[in-house]
A and B are shown apart, each in its own frame.
Chain A
Amino acid sequence: MAHNLYLSEVLADRIRAHGGETYPHECCGGLLGMDGEIAREVRGLFPLVNRREDSPRNRFSITPEDFRNAERAARAAGLDLIGWYHSHPDHPALPSEYDREHAWPWYSYIIVSIAQGEAQAMVSWRLSDNRVRFEPETITMGMKPNEKVAPRENR
């Protein structure tokens, strides 16, 4: 199934900037937005501190408390927590086996590659429902056209 994620240039730049700020460590944060039948859209970010203090260059960790804070922020803004972003310092923006093992279905996982402190490629992935693989999610830069917004039934 093809997945599609709308992301404004402003928010994309904020993810890139976060990755640059924390370089050579991984950055991480929540994606706040709306999920629809055809596509989903990121409307805001919830930057978080990488809690993985023992290995922040190649790992990130978001605690249940941070998770709950991100969820509250989404709810307060009338949005859903639709996914997560993190950076790969000096490494391609490809999901690793470690990413897959720890991923949840449904969420969008944006990865930005940071080379020598400079942002490179940005990609998004979703875990397949059977947990076997990541499926690529096309990032469309810009706002989602209003006519395509279709609220989820179970929100």
Chain B
Amino acid sequence: MAVKVLIPTPLRQFAGKSDTIELEARTVGEALGGLTSKFGELRKHLYTDDGRIRSFVNVYLNDEDIRYLEKEKTPTKDGDTITIVPSIAGGMIL
């Protein structure tokens, strides 16, 4: 099943400068796995060293946050769109 993954601007440089990547995947996890297999440099920006999606990386399946679905096991169907949306955070040391 072909799904589209929309790449946010800061990560396009690691995805062949593309804003959209089309992949075959049955779940959101498969799609992200396929994406990081194809573009290895994306991995460290999306996942922690122990393989979990970083807390400030938000993944939406057709505008629904996958945290409220079945997370990475959320099934996908033909024509679905997966969007990676950054959360921005920071602050000083205290």
Contacts and interface: CB of A to CB of B under 8 A. Distances in A.
Interface of A: 26, 28, 52, 55, 57-64, 67-68, 80-81, 84, 86, 88-89, 91, 94-99, 102-107, 109, 129-131, 153-154
Nearest to A132: B44
Specify which of A58, A59, A104 lies most central, judged by the most chain B CB atoms within 10 Å of its CB: A104
Nearest to A96: B93
Interface of B: 8-14, 17-19, 41, 44-45, 56, 58, 65, 85-94
A95 B89 CA distance: 12
B10 A104 contact: yes
Contacts of A84: 88, 90
A55 B45 CA distance: 25
A125 B14 CA distance: 20
Contact of A96 (B8, B87, B88, B90): B90
Given A59-B90, A94-B92, 4 more contacts: A61-B89, A67-B86, A99-B92, A102-B90
A63 B19 CA distance: 21
A105 B9 contact: no
A107 B17 CA distance: 15
A102 B88 contact: yes
A57 B12 CA distance: 33
